[in-house]
Amino acid sequence: MQTHKLHRLCLGDATDVLLRKLSINFAVFGFLLHLTFCFSYDMGYYESKNTNYLFDSYLDSLYTPFSIILAYEVYELIRVIPESFSNSIGKQFEVVTLLVVRDIFKNLSDVQPNADTVFDKDIYFIATEALAFVVLFSTALFFRFRLAATPVKFYDGEDLDNFVKQKRDLASFLVVIFIIVAGFSLYNWTTGVMDGDSELNREVFFLDFFTILIMSDILILLISYRHTTDFLNLARNTGFILSAVIVRVAISTSGYSGVTLFILAAILAASVLQISLTLGKEIKPIIDSQTSEE
């Protein structure tokens, strides 16, 4: 009962509505505030060698609202965990899609116009990131479409209820971890900025969070094995975890290698989902009939 109250308090609909409103308001306020600093820097009213890179382009102002929106989307990802493993992986790619978009905005703000150069290495890299965005965005939508059109259940009755309850408890615990990691990351980044040792990159918060998310995914996989030993379910979830691990490595990898890993993770996850849904509908009735005969 206590865990149910905790889940409702942390991840209930009322809390979600409140956080959505706060996120939108903070995003608008953060955008306008950041834009004001960029304008002050452009007019020569503000200058600091430790923070100039945060305000030397008006496009830098896009980083703040997208960071706030990403924080809310991470919360939404945690809310989805009790629903199904597939839904949480789909939401993961929605988060990663926004993460890549934020990186593209940051890299665009660093591009220096040059009349003598039509294309340079920065433009080629941004084009590659844009391709990764298309692949990730398509994967996120593919998960939504396929799971809405062809839901697949691997548990029934009491087993399903117990499994969902365990995932709700885990999600409630993850909210607490999310708040701690977010606060710790923000503190470390702010301290680094003041000392001139920090920069804008996707490793801030997301590297630690995806490490924790992978550990929770593995825990869910192990718990699920209490309720079913079906190979299809085990292989599917293992494939999803593999895609999450690749995403985590991509977050910590810069340049073309990181972009390539994002694309690889998306293709892997989409392929695993398609195979499990297509063949799962054919295989599960056969397995059920064999089990009933035994």
- pLDDT digits 0-9 by tens, 163-211: 778 888 888 889 989 999 988 888 887 887 777 666 777 888 898 899 9
pLDDT score at 8? 82
Instruction: Give how far the C-alpha of residue 259 lies from the chain's centroid of Cα atoms, to the nearest Å.
Output: 15
Specify the pLDDT at position 288: 46
Q: Are 196 and 49 in contact (CB under 8 A)?
A: yes
Euclidean distance between CA atoms 146 and 277, whole angstroms:
8
CB 164 within 8 Å of CB 155? no
What's the average model confidence in pLDDT over 29-42? 90
Comparing 19 with 120, which gets the higher pLDDT? 19
pLDDT digit string, tens, across residues 211-243: 999 999 999 888 887 776 677 888 888 999 999
Contact between 272 and 240 under an 8 Å Cβ cutoff? The reply is: yes
For residues 97-111, give the mean pLDDT: 88
Residue 289 has pLDDT above 50, yes or no: no
Q: Of 241, 214, 219, 94, which is closest to residue 169 (Cα–Cα)?
A: 219
Q: 168, 172, 101, 108: which is closest to 140 by C-alpha?
A: 101
pLDDT at 284 over 60: no
93 near 143, Cβ under 8 Å?
A: yes
Percent of the chain with pLDDT over 90: 40
**Residue 28 pLDDT > 90:** yes
pLDDT confidence of residue 196: 64
Average pLDDT of 246-269? 94
Beta-carbon contacts of 78 under 8 Å, excluding residues fewer than 6 positions away, are: 11, 171, 174, 175, 178
Could you tell me where the beta strands, DSSP code E, fall in the chain?
A: none
Does residue 153 have a pLDDT over 80? no
- Cα(48)–Cα(269) distance, rounded to whole angstroms? 44
Amino acid at 136: L
Chain centre to alpha carbon of residue 149: 23
